[in-house]
């Protein structure tokens, strides 16, 4: 029997390219901005599409004014150089039943078929202070359920002074 391997990453990129073309057909005057892991990993492929107006990397998309900045058509950094996490996410939670607190991002593993480290960068943890402050603010805003998020949350703390564990962070 012949077994065919289907690369889910390639499939996702193909679907993204189809969606971009469809969006341009349906909204010819709209400004099309591509961002996310596929744009981070292969910005040139999306920049080569005539339908695309702007390509933003995973860090650049969170910068104030990024969508209106016309300084360059492609703005994607070296994701492996990033040391920060996304503390700005708390403002996007209004009118939701549960809140999400990012405690970790990126991954240090280099699994054979996984492209995540190249889209999200190396593992980096949010220090305890900002996590506690963000959680307190969310509880004060009325959230009863808070979900801790990350790409590889089990690696939480390995890059922080004192190497706090996920369990000690959650207990705090």
Count CB atoms within 10 A of the CB of residue 69.
13
pLDDT at 88 (0 to 100): 47
Reported for 117-121, long-range contacts at CB under 8 A and 24+ positions apart, including other chains, are: 117/80, 118/40, 118/41, 118/79, 119/36, 119/37, 119/38, 119/40, 119/41, 119/58, 119/79, 120/37, 120/40, 120/58, 120/79, 120/151, 121/58, 121/79, 121/80, 121/81, 121/82
Q: What is the pLDDT along the chain (172 residues), one digit of tens a residue?
A: 555 555 556 777 888 899 999 999 999 999 998 888 788 888 888 889 999 998 888 777 777 777 777 777 787 776 565 555 555 444 444 556 788 999 998 888 887 777 777 777 889 999 999 999 999 999 998 888 988 999 889 899 999 999 999 888 888 8
């Amino acid at each position: 029997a012949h077994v065919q391997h289907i690369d889910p990453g390639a499939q996702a990129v193909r679907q993204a390219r189809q969606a971009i073309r469809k969006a341009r057909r349906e909204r010819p005057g709209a400004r099309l901005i591509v961002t996310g892991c596929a744009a981070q990993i292969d910005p040139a492929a999306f920049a080569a599409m005539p339908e695309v107006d702007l390509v933003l990397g995973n860090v650049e998309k969170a910068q104030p004014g990024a969508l209106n900045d016309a300084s360059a058509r492609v703005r994607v950094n070296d994701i492996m150089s990033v040391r920060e996490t996304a503390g700005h996410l708390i403002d996007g939670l209004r009118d939701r039943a549960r809140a999400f607190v990012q405690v970790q991002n990126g991954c240090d593993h280099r699994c054979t078929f996984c492209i995540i480290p190249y889209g999200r960068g190396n593992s980096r943890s949010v220090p305890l202070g900002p996590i506690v402050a963000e959680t307190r603010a969310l509880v004060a805003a009325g959230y009863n359920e808070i979900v801790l998020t990350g790409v590889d949350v089990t690696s939480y703390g390995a890059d922080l002074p004192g190497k706090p564990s996920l369990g000690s962070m959650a207990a705090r």
